[in-house]
Structure 1
Amino acid sequence: MEDSHYTIHFLPNDITVEIEPGKTVLDASYKGDLFINALCGGDGTCGKCKVILQSGKTQRRPSSHISVEEAEKGYVLACKTLIDDNLEVFIPEESRLDKSRILVGDNMLFSGSQAAINPGVEQFKHAPLINKIYLELPRPTMDDNMADYERLCQGISSETTISAEKLSIHLAVLKQLPALLRSSDWKITVTLANRCPLFEIIEVQPGDVSANNYGIAVDIGTTTVVAHLINLSTTETIDAEATYNSQIKYGDDYIQRIMYAAQNNAMEMMHEMLTEDVNHLISTLVKRNTLNIHNVNAVVCAGNTVMTHFLMGLDPTNIRKEPYLPVVNIIAPIRASEIDVRINSHGLLYTLPCVGAYVGGDISAGVLSIRLDKAEALSLLIDIGTNGEIVLGNKDWLVCCSASAGPSFEGSGISCGMRAAKGAIEKITITPDFDVMYKTIGDAPPSGICGSGLLECLANLVRSGVIDRTGNFQKGIKTERLRSTDNGQEFLLVDRKETAKKKDIIITQADIQNLIRSKAAIYSAISTLLESMGMDVESIEQVYLAGGFGSYLDAKSAVTIGMLPDIEIAKVHFVGNTSIIGAKMTLFSAEAHEVAKEIGTKMTYIDLMSNNKYMEEYVSANFLPHTNIEKFPSVAEELMVSKK
């Protein structure tokens, strides 16, 4: 083409983008702010980014993920289809990422943010990180000729417990101070930012505008970014919004993204993508609620260590290299504008403290939100997302680790796996006669099976006797659902007549082994933490499950497959997005922010990569539920009953 650009029209979104030759359809979709399911980051290995080419010429790389039937209908892999013409592309429902299933809100039992989820702990005092105070200062006279700034400091000290020695002022504000004080007849609103332990006067405004004080709490996940708009004066959560992390196109997990950034000199690009996601959410919330962005004075971000590094523009390369060191764990507040996060030009950005290379601020926020640091009972916090982070402890001590569970429970590497979206099977039951009953998200025709469905499927396969405890299909099973193919055996979950794509939904032997490896990583991490502290499963009194996947899984099935230890289900509590809850708590309370920093320094990080005990336990946990069935007496009884 003369202008060296092609036009790509995406349906059903009716979005058109222009893109240069040599790019893929997946590249074009991202340019149009369309999120296509590409769990492998565009490597062509997951086969989830299927789209239908309706017109135009392309160069297609062969893929085993496209069947003959699909090819005849125009299906291609978006990541392996090079643009060679103007195109019209239809994105089928099963390939779209559905934002409706992002865990946006708080735990349903906890709508505020000053107190912890744990009701037995005293709530934090409302004292936001950014505060606006209305002052009526005495006019100067010949007998009272104190300098303007000192007069301002005296007024602040008289209304707060902050001494003048702990106050500083932004130079630009100081320059404007004389004229503003006099034009406002010495009646002003001061915006004070907590810089821990000092305070900065970031703005002085005429009159009483103290009610116009807003903040944004952000959970920066590897897969999703969630933001809450907060009224700092009233402690009200006004609104919430979420999006997919734009970095997702460069890998489903953060290690892939570190490698991509290092190999392609793309650290700055990764930083900009993340800040633009945050800015998009802030802008959406502010516009939707008809606010002035100038009145957003603070942002608190909670994310894993790598996402925190990318957000701050820090190089995370050494996190994936021995001895696995981050640049920094606890970051002092910065001007939001320093990293191009767009709020009040003098507003501050705070991050929750990280603990180590693979346990970040999202987990510090989680511990804060349930006040695990104040718990009398020995408790477990398990945050299952793209990775699995685990904290064990109570008010006396806290140990933590990160389990490399892999993305299987997010659908990656699973034949019919998909992220939680409309049409995904989220609940499934297999009867003793091998009938399959299921429920999909949105009650739509099934398109695949998401994490909670995969977990229940694995549990039901072993309960019904379709597979044995090694995860292998049992010989002699009398059902047409179990069938042999060129790629090995598979079990039919849903016949193509019922599915959205008119394609069978199955689970294969390889799928089962992938899921077993993922659950084994979580269990063996828990087991390693317990042994490191000389504890056993019976010592655990409370288990808190957090994160997107953790909020939807069935606890009984998680025990059946051996992801969780054999504990009473009554001890398991689903606590939602504790990352966003903790971020909100620190926004509302400077005391909570200080406690979060204490939590970050209090937790002992145990590296599993070089832990021999972990590797031994991991091998033993690659059975259903475990090599040693005596560790799971309730499951042994359950399986015995199911055989009768």
Structure 2
Amino acid sequence: MTKDTARVTFFPSGATAEVTRGSTLLDAAVEAGVLIATICGGDGICGRCRVIVRSGEVDAEPTALLSREEIRAGYTLACETRVIGDVEIDVPAETGGEGAQILSDADAERFRALSSAAGAGPSFALDPIVRKIFLQIPPPTLQDNLGCSERLFREVRRGTDAPSMQMGLKVVRSLPDVLREGNWQVTVTLGRRGDTEAVIQVEKGDRTDRVLGLVVDVGTSTVVAHLVDLTTGETLDAEARYNSQMPYGAEVTRRIIHAEREGPDALREAIVRDINDLTNLLVSRSGVELHDIIAAFASGNTTMLHFLLGLNPAHIRKSPYIPATTAPPAVRAAETGVRINPRGLLYAMPSIGSWVGGDVTAGILSTGLADSPKLTMFIDVGTNGEIVLGNSDWMLACATSAGPAFEGSGVKCGMRASRGAIERVAFRTANVIEFGVIGDAAPVGICGSGLIDAIAGLFEAGLVDRSGQLLPDRSPRIRSCDGILEFVLVPSTETGADIVVTQADIENVLRAKAAVFAGAKILLESTEHSFADLDQLLIAGGFGSYLDIGKAVTLGMIPELPLDRIRYVGNTSLRGAKMALLSSAALARSQEIARSATYYDLITFPDYYEEFMSAKFLPHTDLDLFPTARAAASAGTASRKEAG
């Protein structure tokens, strides 16, 4: 360490970084591998990156995003605080203090379980897109004098219908020696690259005993990886971690802006590092070698796949919103930095449009939406709020830009769905509240599903009106803090610090739910359908799988339908990617789906803003869409008349 640098130590992880004096605490956290989530990407406008200065010298910019009490307690914003000397920093759990580490067992289990969540999808024959075959090749003679590569192609073609084959120069160079050293008995690794069968590698002897693949769901918040046996289709192990891109912004738009300003390398390296760390852990636990993994298949939204492949995502956010590609080609994994077999291939799920990505294509594939006569609506409840409407004859898709509130971001006491997060809230009376906490731990914040429950409960208890405004005369738990109304969900006497739901939190959630509902209604009306016409509503994604359907209806986020028409389908992004890796037919079907679905950009619909504003009320301005709420409102009116 020099006089121009200082050491920053983060707790509770103990991770350290040596940084140039004048660097921000957020920069130091990235250097140390400590995940501090931000919504604004470090622009100092969201207030999400709260940390506590335990000791040391810093220079903090004044901010109105921290209360006087927080400032007195040592809180500061990591993006607005510069390192002057050695410093020790506490990172609260709700800010993301467990950082870029592998998820704890309790947290990771939520994501592992989602991959096998409910839902009977289509069945595809086991026919991996990358496979190994053992060949006994007839040695050359004066009468049979084909070259080594042509001789190998001839034998491969006896068992494949590939119209064309190719072999890289490196393989051609090694082939004469490998064939002879193996006494003309070799194992050939083949991979599909469009209509071409590529010879990935040739090994002497029979090496078909271990053929593995990696499936990765590259989510905006979480990265999930499965290690798969390509011979049997069995999942050998699974793991998850938080996306290390989080310090650059909770939303993909913020990350694109960062890439435009600073270059995309840091974002690409972050996601590649996450995948490699997960892969190394899976390999170590399973007792296999990286060399055994001959293919990886990635699914995710269009922007995440651009970052992974090193593609420029800048034009995704600029009119007319065109990505570099919606159908990424298979590439050598080594070209991207993903570490598997050095010759292994990396595939990416094709996208439908700039804001409806491969994760949605995978969802359509895995649920069988495109092969069913039933009118189906598929909603991936998350930051982008993607929606698909259709059946086997047609499909429409859109993204609703719901924002990160559903994932606990942009919320005063919000946090990701991890240990200590309140995930369930039940109002027994206006002042008697029960809640469930992830990991059976003491509550430290509230995640998206808990926030939905809380706001729906406030409405049902009569503590907010239909516009979402808190009513301070209805409960002593409603108070004003720095001029903003808030509801004390859990008092500090139980947790050490109050856990609250603020008026701003409520407004954020109402905007998010209105975006989703308005998008769904626009898709239906554009095809002259209504919610009543839906045969099934499929709720996908990590957040969606923990959503209380009744509370979501109370809020007006999803339509009121008979419960037998609503189904959770879990992590369909991962499941669809696994199907495509294990079946050439499934991969071909995913490509057909991406090409055939019609992508709607909601900003081109003149009625969208009006629908959005109507949906910002609880549950909606048009109560005919919500018969239960309409009946309750009528009953309340009648009782008030009787009382009068």
Q: TM-score, normalised by structure 2?
A: 0.93
2:603 match: secondary structure: coil
CA deviation map 1:68-92 (0-9, x unaligned)? 4444443333222211111122223
Other-structure match for 1:273: 270
Rounded Cα–Cα distance in structure 1 between residues aligned with 2:87 and 2:164: 62
* Amino acid corresponding to residue 254 of structure 1 in structure 2: V
Other-structure match for 1:539: 533
Rounded Cα–Cα distance in structure 2 between residues aligned with 1:48 and 1:271: 23
Shift of 1:173: 1.2
Shift of 1:31: 1.2
> Please, which moves more after superposition, 56-65 or 581-590?
56-65
| Contact 2:13/2:97, CA 8 A, preserved across alignment | no
* Amino acid corresponding to residue 89 of structure 1 in structure 2: I
CA deviation map 1:431-464 (0-9, x unaligned)? 3443221111122222121100111111111111
| Contact 2:36/2:97, CA 8 A, preserved across alignment | yes
Shift of 1:345: 2.0
Residue among 237, 240, 260 paired with 1:262: 260
Rounded Cα–Cα distance in structure 1 between residues aligned with 2:444 and 2:301: 31
Other-structure match for 1:596: 590
CA deviation map 1:212-254 (0-9, x unaligned)? 2111111112222221111111211111222222222111111
Other-structure match for 2:486: 490
Q: Residues 483-522 of structure 1: matches in 2 within 5 Å?
A: 483-499=479-495, 502-522=496-516
Count of aligned residue pairs for this structure pair = 631
1:226 counterpart = 2:228: no
Rounded Cα–Cα distance in structure 1 between residues aligned with 2:314 and 2:92: 37
| Contact 2:383/2:405, CA 8 A, preserved across alignment | no
Q: Residues 409-558 of structure 1: matches in 2 within 5 Å?
A: 409-474=406-471, 476-477=473-474, 479-499=475-495, 502-558=496-552
2:161 match: secondary structure: coil
Residue among 207, 210, 213 paired with 1:209: 207
Rounded Cα–Cα distance in structure 2 between residues aligned with 1:76 and 1:276: 29
Rounded Cα–Cα distance in structure 1 between residues aligned with 2:497 and 2:114: 37
Shift of 1:465: 0.8
1:372 counterpart = 2:366: no
Other-structure match for 2:237: 239
| Contact 2:134/2:185, CA 8 A, preserved across alignment | yes
Rounded Cα–Cα distance in structure 1 between residues aligned with 2:7 and 2:286: 35
CA deviation map 1:594-630 (0-9, x unaligned)? 1000000111001012211211211111111110111
Other-structure match for 1:351: 348
> Please, which moves more after superposition, 335-344 or 382-391?
335-344
| Contact 1:559/1:635, CA 8 A, preserved across alignment | no
Shift of 1:256: 1.1
CA deviation map 1:499-534 (0-9, x unaligned)? 2xx222222222222211111000000000101111
Rounded Cα–Cα distance in structure 2 between residues aligned with 1:44 and 1:640: 46
Identity %: 42
1:633 counterpart = 2:627: yes
Shift of 1:272: 2.7
Residue among 333, 338, 346 paired with 1:336: 333
> Please, which moves more after superposition, 568-577 or 37-46?
37-46
Rounded Cα–Cα distance in structure 1 between residues aligned with 2:445 and 2:481: 20
Other-structure match for 1:179: 177
Rounded Cα–Cα distance in structure 1 between residues aligned with 2:634 and 2:447: 28
CA deviation map 1:111-162 (0-9, x unaligned)? 9xxxxx425x4x111111111001122333444444333332232223x133
| Contact 1:106/1:578, CA 8 A, preserved across alignment | no
Shift of 1:315: 1.4
Q: Alpha carbons of 1:278 and 1:109: their partners in 2 closer, same or farther (altered >3 Å)? A: closer
Rounded Cα–Cα distance in structure 1 between residues aligned with 2:541 and 2:410: 21
Shift of 1:639: 5.4
1:104 counterpart = 2:98: no
| Contact 1:484/1:490, CA 8 A, preserved across alignment | yes
Rounded Cα–Cα distance in structure 2 between residues aligned with 1:291 and 1:351: 24
1:519 match: secondary structure: helix
Shift of 1:402: 0.1
> Please, which moves more after superposition, 72-81 or 628-637?
72-81
| Contact 1:105/1:577, CA 8 A, preserved across alignment | no
Other-structure match for 1:319: 316
Rounded Cα–Cα distance in structure 1 between residues aligned with 2:137 and 2:185: 6
Rounded Cα–Cα distance in structure 2 between residues aligned with 1:203 and 1:321: 42
User: Would you identify which runs of 4 or more consecutive aligned residues in structure 1 move more than 6 Å?
Assistant: 641-644
* Amino acid corresponding to residue 495 of structure 1 in structure 2: P
Q: Residues 40-59 of structure 1: matches in 2 within 5 Å?
A: 40-59=40-59
1:105 match: secondary structure: helix
| Contact 1:379/1:393, CA 8 A, preserved across alignment | yes
Other-structure match for 2:642: none
2:223 match: secondary structure: strand
Other-structure match for 2:165: 167
1:613 counterpart = 2:611: no
Shift of 1:105: 2.3
Shift of 1:196: 1.9
Other-structure match for 2:26: 26
Shift of 1:349: 1.2
Other-structure match for 2:83: 83
CA deviation map 1:186-230 (0-9, x unaligned)? 111110111121101111111111122111111112222221111
Q: Alpha carbons of 1:325 and 1:105: their partners in 2 closer, same or farther (altered >3 Å)? A: same
Other-structure match for 1:565: 559
Rounded Cα–Cα distance in structure 1 between residues aligned with 2:202 and 2:313: 38
Rounded Cα–Cα distance in structure 2 between residues aligned with 1:43 and 1:108: 35
Q: Alpha carbons of 1:53 and 1:332: their partners in 2 closer, same or farther (altered >3 Å)? A: same
* Amino acid corresponding to residue 612 of structure 1 in structure 2: P
| Contact 1:463/1:642, CA 8 A, preserved across alignment | no
| Contact 2:131/2:211, CA 8 A, preserved across alignment | yes
Shift of 1:486: 4.3
| Contact 1:517/1:622, CA 8 A, preserved across alignment | yes
2:416 match: secondary structure: coil
1:278 match: secondary structure: helix
Q: Alpha carbons of 1:252 and 1:200: their partners in 2 closer, same or farther (altered >3 Å)? A: same
| Contact 2:472/2:478, CA 8 A, preserved across alignment | no
Rounded Cα–Cα distance in structure 2 between residues aligned with 1:203 and 1:326: 32
Other-structure match for 2:572: 578
* Amino acid corresponding to residue 140 of structure 2 in structure 1: P
Q: CA RMSD in A?
A: 2.1
* Amino acid corresponding to residue 374 of structure 2 in structure 1: A
| Contact 1:297/1:343, CA 8 A, preserved across alignment | yes
1:283 match: secondary structure: helix
| Contact 2:295/2:346, CA 8 A, preserved across alignment | yes
CA deviation map 1:359-397 (0-9, x unaligned)? 111110111111111112111111112221011111111
1:311 match: secondary structure: helix
* Amino acid corresponding to residue 398 of structure 1 in structure 2: M
1:198 counterpart = 2:196: yes
2:200 match: secondary structure: strand
Rounded Cα–Cα distance in structure 1 between residues aligned with 2:2 and 2:194: 58
> Please, which moves more after superposition, 144-153 or 219-228?
144-153
Q: Alpha carbons of 1:46 and 1:271: their partners in 2 closer, same or farther (altered >3 Å)? A: same
| Contact 2:39/2:254, CA 8 A, preserved across alignment | no
* Amino acid corresponding to residue 215 of structure 2 in structure 1: A
Rounded Cα–Cα distance in structure 2 between residues aligned with 1:38 and 1:321: 22
2:282 match: secondary structure: helix
Other-structure match for 1:114: none
* Amino acid corresponding to residue 564 of structure 1 in structure 2: I
Rounded Cα–Cα distance in structure 2 between residues aligned with 1:146 and 1:96: 62
| Contact 1:22/1:82, CA 8 A, preserved across alignment | yes
* Amino acid corresponding to residue 380 of structure 2 in structure 1: D
